[in-house]
Structure 1
Amino acid sequence: MLPPLLWFIFIFLVVQRLLEIAVAKRNERWLKARGGIESGEEHYKWFIIVHTLFFFSILLEVMAKNEVVQNPGILLIVLFLLTQAFRVWCISSLGRFWNTKIIVAPNFPLIKAGPYKYIDHPNYIVVGIELFIIPVMFQAYLTSVIFPILHILLLFIRIPAEERALKDPTYIE
């Protein structure tokens, strides 16, 4: 059983992700209208599968325990809020160029603002942290181990594909 706070967080996260998909679709249309080229379509479906299963895994693990889940401590709440702030910073720094897909518009310069000024692919870092912290908040410890590992494995495909597309926008994988 989940306490109301965790139900609120869970519903917030699902709604957040659905809104992000809508933003990504809008940005995709905008980018493609300006010559944006999509790459990496073959592996994209695996991101959708993993991220969808992530939410089901949390619920299944909680239900399988058949115990009352305790509210997370203040440290986990603070870490969660920090990851959300970092996530928003990543997305807002890219603006209309942010997407869940690899879409490169050849007539625009590479954005090096916000966290992208300091590190490459900060959004992937924050997602990896989220895939650990969120399940821990729900005491879904198996999920907190499995999904960050799956995320890292996907990044071994995703980051090289993205780097190739950024170097040569006409490259289609």
Structure 2
Amino acid sequence: MIWYTALVLAVAAERLAELAVALRNARWSLARGGTEAGRGHHPVMVALHTALLGGCVAEAWLAERPFAPWSGWSMVAVVAAAQGLRWWCIRTLGRRWNTRVIVVPGLPLVTGGPYRWLRHPNYVAVAAEGAALPLVHGAWVTAVLFTVGNAALMSVRVRCEDGALARLAGADARA
């Protein structure tokens, strides 16, 4: 179980790297007239993702969940694929990627990279990782709770993001 704890800590370190990128990008966007939407749900998102990481380790250790190689290694592959997709999104959006919903007037909608096929590919990565990371070591309760919580959060987040982009497109069309 030590290696699983190390995996979860590696994911936590990756999240901290994301936050550093997001803070830098937020400063860049706001300096260019960007506006933020959905401030109210952002703390909930941070809490949910923090709970995911803590829940993975706590459930695996406290409930003495076993590692089942046939499913565990499959879930490690899903976690790795989710990380790859997430960083592809970050690279594709460049300075516009953020953990917050910040839109900058005058910038066109991104339609390259994974956005060529999916409107919200980063959320696909989040959902896949949120289900797979706990299941690496049998933490199925954490996987279910995160998945339900994330679905509720994404229903708010996607509406917020789509609304912010639509308002920006409307403002750009009037300009």
TM-score after normalising by structure 1: 0.90
Letter in 1 for 2:36: E
**Helix, strand or coil for the counterpart of 1:83?**
helix
Asked whether the equivalents of residues 60 and 138 of structure 2 are also in contact (C-alpha less than 8 Å), the reply is yes
Q: Does residue 70 in structure 1 map to residue 64 in structure 2?
A: no
**Helix, strand or coil for the counterpart of 1:38?**
strand
Q: Does residue 35 in structure 1 map to residue 33 in structure 2?
A: yes
- Distance, in Å, in 2 between the alignment partners of 1:109 and 1:170 is 9
Aligned to 2:7: 9
- Distance, in Å, in 2 between the alignment partners of 1:74 and 1:145 is 19
Unpaired stretches in structure 2, ≥5 consecutive residues: 171-175
Aligned to 1:115: 114
Asked whether the equivalents of residues 59 and 65 of structure 2 are also in contact (C-alpha less than 8 Å), the reply is no
Aligned to 2:16: 18
Letter in 1 for 2:108: P
Asked whether the equivalents of residues 80 and 130 of structure 1 are also in contact (C-alpha less than 8 Å), the reply is yes
Unpaired stretches in structure 1, ≥5 consecutive residues: none
Aligned length: 168
Task: Describe the shift of the 1:90–1:153 C-alpha distance in structure 2 as closer, same or farther (beyond 3 A).
Answer: same
Alignment RMSD: 1.8
- Structure 1 segments (4+ residues) deviating >3 Å: 71-74
**Helix, strand or coil for the counterpart of 1:103?**
strand
TM-score after normalising by structure 2: 0.89
Percent identical among aligned pairs is 35
Aligned to 1:91: 90
